[in-house]
Structure 1
Amino acid sequence: MPFTIVFLADGRVLEWEATEGGAVVTEREDYTPRFYVAPRDRDADNDLTPLRSLYDRHPDVAAAEVTARRPSFRRDDERVLAVDVDHIDRVTALARKARQLAEYPVGDLACFNVDFSREFRYCLETGVDPTPTTELSTLRLGVPLSETAGEAYDELAVDGETVSGPPAAVLTAVQTAIDDHGLDVLVCSTSDIVPTLYEMAETAGFDEFTLSRWPDVGYQQLASRSTYASYGQVGHSPARYNVPGRAIVDESNTYFYGETNLDGILDLVSRSKKPVQETAWASIGNVLTAIQICEAHDRDVLVPWNSWRHERYKTMGTLHDADRGGFIFAPDVGLHDDVHELDFSSLYPNIICTQNVSPDVIRCDCHRHCEDVPGLGYAICDERGYLVDVLQPIIDDRDEIKAAIQREKQRDAPDQERLEELEAVPLLGS
């Protein structure tokens, strides 16, 4: 199974699989990413022939066909237009064209399966499992904090050994280490190392230098650096780069690698179907969303580009009763005896699973007479919700791992290697 996937400018896709004899590349020329378009209103006229003709004439569209899919978990199969695109970079632009058709005969149009990350989309659509079956070789490159981004490095840590000197000496040390390791995963203290090394090689006339396993492409820039605001805090997102044939882990832009290690990331790869590089920079929410998308895909449910299903109308009294939240009692100041602590394991995920709390089964039409939610009169369908199928395996695995850690610690001679392996698994839902 490929551990990294690269998209070339001419539309070809390269898959690199780790084997006992080294990485093996497979070239594909037949991959066409797909998105879907359908009327937003389920009661609208569903004649998609004019829309299909419009896309058929577009030079970036490989094919367009009418097929049956579920636009949401609450809807059955409906006629939708599937649009196959020549290149993955054109998916978003072509989807925007559907949004511009405000006067289209069937009414407002909705797009589906648009904003997936590149490698995740490829695995989802082709059925490829990106979980490596062979151990991946790694190499770490680190620059001192005193080095300025974008300038030539006078000093660089290569696999734990500090190399200093002119650019040619630094580049030679990096190239030698890469050739000796076979290198599947490049762990960088900052992603800026990648373009900086190439600029150093160009300036020094070091034509033989390359981090890539593909002779025609040195590296690709996937995203530019940016700033963002979240919960009143301003954060920085560094640029992201891609090196054909190798997965990059940017230590300045990863949560999971810092909290666990490569084995922990590989555990999430197997759950989310996001390859190593994409999982390394993903957040917990991003990984959980990927797992939900995989569940939706298995059920032939499309993923809306932007959710348009607004919250149902509620009276002021219902809003008051529903939005109760939690309350923490402030204890009396002083020294207390007999203080007890209750720690609920995966509290909210467990509530979701035990009570079947899932958006596709809340206030269902088939159980209107039921009042399953106290004080609100909401019904919860007897049919198992999709969110339960997403979370229950994670909760079960989490409980099993925690129990295994406790069993190992209680042994007379705990196996430290086994403990490190267990503790490296990210406990989603904790």
Structure 2
Amino acid sequence: MVEFEAWLLDAYADKGTAVAWFTDISGRPIRAHFKYRPDFYVHVDEEHRCNVRNQIEALTGVMAVEEVLRREAFSQEEKTVLKVTMRDTIYFNKIVRKLKNLEFVKLYNIHILHSQRVLYKLGLEPGCKALLDLAYDGSLLSLTKVDDREVLPPPFKVLAFRLTKKGRYTIDRIDVFSGPTKIGEFAGEPNKILFEFASVVRSEDPDILICNARDDTFTMLLAMSRLYGMNLQLGRDRTDIASLPRPLPYWVRGRVVLDEQHFDPLLGCWGLAGILERSRFGFLPIDLAAEWTSNRLVDSRNTFELLQHGVLIPAKPKYFEPRRNVGEMGIKDKGAIIMPPLLGVHDNVAELDFESEFANIMVRDNISYETISERGDIDGLLPGVIKKFLDRRLYFKRLRSSLPQDSEELDYCEQRQTSLKLMLCVLYGTSGCAWNRFGNVLAFEKINAMAREVMLEATKVAEERGFRTLYADTDSLFVRREDATETEYKALVETLNESIGLPLTLDHHYRFLVLLPRKEDAHTPAFKRYYGLTYGGELVCRGIECRRHDTPLFIKEVQEAMMKALLFKDDLAEVYTKGLADSIRVLNMALKRLERGDIEGSRLCVTKIMRKEADQYFSLLSHVSAGLRMKAEGEDITSDSFISYIYKSSDHRNPLCRVVPFTMKTSTYDTSKYKDLLTGAASTILAPLLTRGMKMAQGSSRLDDYI
């Protein structure tokens, strides 16, 4: 017997054997295995039960059939069902399909993937640490989970590569990277490229492979390997590529393949630590956790939790929504409260944030699918799930303040808490969704009703203590009181915590906060659109140009410089006078630089994502035109490709001539277009100040008059 401390990388079923791959502290791969006997349940009325049982027992691949008592999910009534245990995975789907055709039969637990079943059997999520006892032949004797809150990911070895096509069906080159370092560059004949690439994979022996266009890339690699008669081995378990039904995951057993899009900041990526948190939450293999929608991750976690209590999981959604008229729906089906912002510049403002408000409400009030329409005196499924991951998310969220800025630990910590935040939001958001297997719209409505009560109570308590509400949005409250100190704001937070019973934090204490109007109407308040300067000197922005990934870097820099010139002042009067003048001065200097043409092309690039193939667009939008030009130059442009371009002549009659791909170097740009973009960004932050500020300075209230 051998003992190890290791992290789970992947698990899957291979006929009658379950295989689990681990990585120890030194990065060494460990293969463990144990017997795997998948099962499912059949409910049939008593009249047909004996006959159906005899038929099932006679089927090839069935190991045992027994009568057991089980209850369906969220039901208190037990019923007799047939538990069917299979010898392996070979005939599982065939038998399930045959039984589905019987009218008087209802099947349970048939939707669960074999890889999920193996993980459930292990009781360990990928990325988690465990103490292993293995026999000398690799058989798993015992496994003990080690609960950890480590910020850094496990010591998984990562290898990235990028495949470039020549045309549609031929490989042009493969570049291989270990971290930021390129360790291989293979070009020439396709069979030579394939052989050298497979050799690098074997020698480096990575746990995780990252590539562009994951599914397309491996489909191409498999097709080319078969074409050249090469039985290439890219996994740790040997396979015969001629018999593979598809490349992933069968061709790379013992490794995990991820798409590079999950690591790109332009897509709001999760990063490796974030993907591992999704895998832990969903109790899913790492690659599925990255590819599946969040709703499916919630379903997988719910399934695991219910199976621990031995309940039956229906194959089809059991969505509940009562029949109601429009009037009843109007009363019950309301979202959270939003109080319109008070436009303008405000000083000494506190932003109070409910920490995971909806998740905490579900835990506090025991709100779940089954506790609303049936019994409210039982412990709900959702509060139990939420409590575990809410505590974990808040741990990482609070840990951030103690980590060094720009450190690797801070990045990983942010990935983890952001990923968990999304999953907790989805738990709430899908609680009444028809696509949720157990969705109950009454639960969703109850959560929203309680959230409205919480916000109304919070504003009432704050106003009773002399604080004015400037803006309230779902789970954030912006309040102000003349000459209030940070200590007094923190005292308000403590008072609200006690009176409401939900955790709040003082998220930001602003020296100045600017609440912005809608772009279309300068007199109508906009939601989630503001910027401000904290007493700590931090610039906080929401819903404006510098937060968008497709805003050119130069315009982001100028907008941020204008905000700093405006807000780094002593008081409101100085913001409206000297600050406004300084901000416009920054704008004018930037406009002159544009006119001189001395801005580097990389800082004027607009980057957008192709959401579909270029030839599927009906309109030649700017990024589509750039993508078509790049494709004409031989570049591999597909859906999800990032297109970077520069405006060359935005008024040109031919859309293809309006922009130039960044890869096609150009020394000139459309000055007029970039001036429009820049003045638009400037108007965003200055619009609420111009009228009052220029009146104080006896000037015009039009921005154009100062450019």
What are the Cα deviations for residues 121-174 of structure 1, in whole angstroms up to 9, with x where unaligned?
A: 222245455445462212112124x6555x231211112343322224423431
What's the counterpart of residue 231 of structure 1? none
Distance 1:420 1:124, change over 3 A: same
Matched, 1:420 2:411: yes
Contact 2:127/2:280, CA 8 A, preserved across alignment: yes
What are the Cα deviations for residues 358-395 of structure 1, in whole angstroms up to 9, with x where unaligned?
A: 12211335xxxxxxxxxxxxxxx233211100112222
Matched, 1:157 2:168: no
Match of residue 143, structure 1, among 156, 163, 168: 163
Distance in structure 2 (CA, Å) of the matches to 1:266 and 1:220 = 31
The letter of the residue matching 1:115 is H
Match of residue 395, structure 1, among 370, 390, 393: 390
Distance in structure 1 (CA, Å) of the matches to 2:309 and 2:385 = 12
Contact 2:63/2:86, CA 8 A, preserved across alignment: yes
Instruction: State the Cα distance separating 1:404 from its structure 2 match.
Output: 0.9
Distance in structure 1 (CA, Å) of the matches to 2:321 and 2:226 = 56
Distance in structure 1 (CA, Å) of the matches to 2:285 and 2:346 = 51
What's the secondary structure of 2:60's corresponding residue?
coil
Distance 1:300 1:271, change over 3 A: same
Contact 2:173/2:186, CA 8 A, preserved across alignment: yes
The letter of the residue matching 1:416 is S
What's the counterpart of residue 405 of structure 1? 400
What's the counterpart of residue 22 of structure 1? 28
What are the Cα deviations for residues 299-337 of structure 1, in whole angstroms up to 9, with x where unaligned?
A: 2222110134643455665444322345756668x6465
Matched, 1:247 2:256: yes
Contact 1:219/1:241, CA 8 A, preserved across alignment: no
What's the secondary structure of 1:293's corresponding residue?
helix
Q: How does 1:41-56 map to 2 (within 5 A)?
A: 45=46, 48-56=49-57
Distance 1:64 1:125, change over 3 A: farther
What's the counterpart of residue 63 of structure 1? 64
What's the counterpart of residue 267 of structure 1? 277
Distance in structure 2 (CA, Å) of the matches to 1:137 and 1:148 = 32
Q: How does 1:31-430 map to 2 (within 5 A)?
A: 31-38=36-43, 45=46, 48-88=49-89, 90-102=91-103, 104=104, 109-125=105-121, 127=123, 129-131=125-127, 133=129, 135-144=155-164, 147-149=166-168, 151-159=169-177, 160=182, 161-191=184-214, 192-204=216-228, 206=230, 209-218=232-241, 242-251=251-260, 259-308=269-318, 310-314=320-324, 318-326=328-336, 335=344, 337=346, 343-364=353-374, 381-408=376-403, 414=405, 416-425=407-416, 426-427=419-420, 428-429=423-424
Aligned residues: 382
1 or 2 for the larger relative contact order (CA 8 Å, sep ≥6)? Answer: 1
Unaligned runs of 5+ in 1: 225-238, 366-380
Contact 2:262/2:270, CA 8 A, preserved across alignment: no
Instruction: State the Cα distance separating 1:99 from its structure 2 match.
Output: 3.6
Distance in structure 1 (CA, Å) of the matches to 2:278 and 2:251 = 20
Distance in structure 1 (CA, Å) of the matches to 2:340 and 2:245 = 49
Distance in structure 1 (CA, Å) of the matches to 2:414 and 2:243 = 34
What's the counterpart of residue 373 of structure 1? none
Distance in structure 2 (CA, Å) of the matches to 1:251 and 1:356 = 39
**RMSD of aligned alpha carbons:** 3.5
Distance in structure 1 (CA, Å) of the matches to 2:397 and 2:20 = 35
Distance in structure 2 (CA, Å) of the matches to 1:202 and 1:316 = 60
The letter of the residue matching 1:405 is R
Larger radius of gyration between Structure 1 and Structure 2: 2
Distance in structure 2 (CA, Å) of the matches to 1:88 and 1:195 = 24
Distance 1:321 1:205, change over 3 A: closer
The letter of the residue matching 2:411 is E
What's the secondary structure of 1:143's corresponding residue?
strand
What are the Cα deviations for residues 194-226 of structure 1, in whole angstroms up to 9, with x where unaligned?
A: 24334434444555x3212223434986779xx
Distance in structure 2 (CA, Å) of the matches to 1:217 and 1:280 = 27
What's the secondary structure of 2:37's corresponding residue?
coil
What's the secondary structure of 1:3's corresponding residue?
strand
What's the secondary structure of 1:263's corresponding residue?
helix
Contact 1:212/1:219, CA 8 A, preserved across alignment: no
Contact 1:3/1:131, CA 8 A, preserved across alignment: yes
What's the counterpart of residue 688 of structure 2? none
Distance in structure 2 (CA, Å) of the matches to 1:281 and 1:265 = 10
TM-score normalized with structure 2 length: 0.48
Distance 1:80 1:358, change over 3 A: same
Distance 1:202 1:326, change over 3 A: closer
Distance 1:212 1:296, change over 3 A: same
What's the counterpart of residue 378 of structure 1? none
Which structure has the highest helix share of the two? 2
Contact 1:211/1:218, CA 8 A, preserved across alignment: no
What's the secondary structure of 1:123's corresponding residue?
helix
Instruction: State the Cα distance separating 1:46 from its structure 2 match.
Output: 8.3
Distance in structure 2 (CA, Å) of the matches to 1:286 and 1:429 = 13
Instruction: State the Cα distance separating 1:36 from its structure 2 match.
Output: 1.2
Distance in structure 2 (CA, Å) of the matches to 1:281 and 1:325 = 29
Distance 1:116 1:204, change over 3 A: same
Deviates more, 1:112-121 or 1:343-352: 343-352
Matched, 1:4 2:10: yes
Unaligned runs of 5+ in 2: 1-6, 130-153, 426-707
What are the Cα deviations for residues 245-285 of structure 1, in whole angstroms up to 9, with x where unaligned?
A: 21111335899997232233223333332122222222222
Distance 1:290 1:154, change over 3 A: same
What's the secondary structure of 2:403's corresponding residue?
helix
Instruction: State the Cα distance separating 1:16 from its structure 2 match.
Output: 2.7
What's the secondary structure of 1:115's corresponding residue?
coil
Contact 1:34/1:83, CA 8 A, preserved across alignment: yes
Contact 2:207/2:256, CA 8 A, preserved across alignment: yes
What's the secondary structure of 1:84's corresponding residue?
strand
What's the secondary structure of 2:20's corresponding residue?
strand
What's the secondary structure of 1:429's corresponding residue?
helix
Deviates more, 1:267-276 or 1:336-345: 336-345
Distance 1:222 1:311, change over 3 A: farther
- What is the percentage of aligned positions where both structures have the same residue? 23
Distance in structure 2 (CA, Å) of the matches to 1:116 and 1:216 = 25
Distance in structure 1 (CA, Å) of the matches to 2:413 and 2:351 = 26
What's the secondary structure of 2:399's corresponding residue?
helix
